[in-house]
Amino acid sequence: MSELRHNAISGEWVVIATERAKRPEDFAKAEKERSVNPEYSKACPFCPGNEALSPEETFRIGGEKKWTVRVIPNKFPALFPKEILARKDDGLLHSITGYGIHEVIIENPRHNAFLPLMTDEEAKNIILAYKNRYVSLRNNEDIKAVIIFKNHGPLAGTSLEHPHSQVVATPIIPPQMENRMIKAAHYSNETGRCIFCQMMEEELMKKERIVLETDDFVAFEPYASAAPFQTWIFPRRHASSFADITENEMGDLALCLKTVLSKIYYGLGDPDLNYVINSVLFDDKKMKTMHWHISIVPRITQPAGFEIGSGIFINTSLPEKAAEFLRQVKV
């Protein structure tokens, strides 16, 4: 029988289609399908030696001639920093000029260095770049949200193979983020507790959906996973803003994220995927009820008419089985 599961954090419902459920290994791509890219591409604007092909960088890790991570403005941005922020209201028609900041984080000089294939130090440098951009962009008083995300593979929306992430700073709070903020605040008012912390504690107690535990982070499959192998990474220490991650936590997050992505990479044959850092700008009193985290979603299945029409996703993989499968993948 199928089962409807409720996501306590988002308030959304998910159908876990147990009768249609596949074994976790059935989601793995065949070995021959895994893409093999060269270490350097002459035509790639992100490869070393081609820096002149991209806009002037805003941040760099490494020396003047040999870099490890570069951050540049997106050449084809969704939002523009030179726009004058202005709002227009006409009855029910509301709009804001396309003001915002859109950057690209070039994660590594090597064209084929997806994070699971990097060293621990290279992975930590990516987290360091994430924090630098988050802290820098949130200090703009016109910015209300900073979204750091990665698209890996064409089904996830990437157009360039070279490993990179993106950061978009917007003049509005996205509705999904606002909804979670409201629900977290209501739960805190009713119980005096953080709903994220409670969820993490319950998952650690049950152990059924845990993928990985490190000193500072816990990776698990959500009880109401919207997609096969959706994975959340929560910091053990309560903090509402990613900007407040410590030096030690950055190293541990790099290890945790790299390990989880490696398990997905090797266990499922390098599927296309997205991950995003969910966070509020400041860890102030008004936002204390939030708890920043990372959400990873492999693009193994595609939403269809029912999902589009109802907003209810159908997951054909049991989160408990997916977690067990990933735990057993050796990396």
Catalytic residue positions, numbered:
164
Please give the Cα distance from 58 to 44 (Å, whole number).
19
Please give the Cα distance from 279 to 169 (Å, whole number).
12
Q: Could you tell me the two tokens for 92?
A: 């029910």
The DSSP H or E segment spanning 181 is: helix 175-191
**Whole-Å CA distances, 210 to 101, 201, 218, 264, 319:** 36, 11, 8, 14, 10
Burial of 298 (0-12, 13-18, 19+ CB in 10 A): buried
Q: Could you tell me the two tokens for 203?
A: 């998952």
Q: Could you tell me the two tokens for 294?
A: 């990372």
Please give the Cα distance from 69 to 77 (Å, whole number).
20
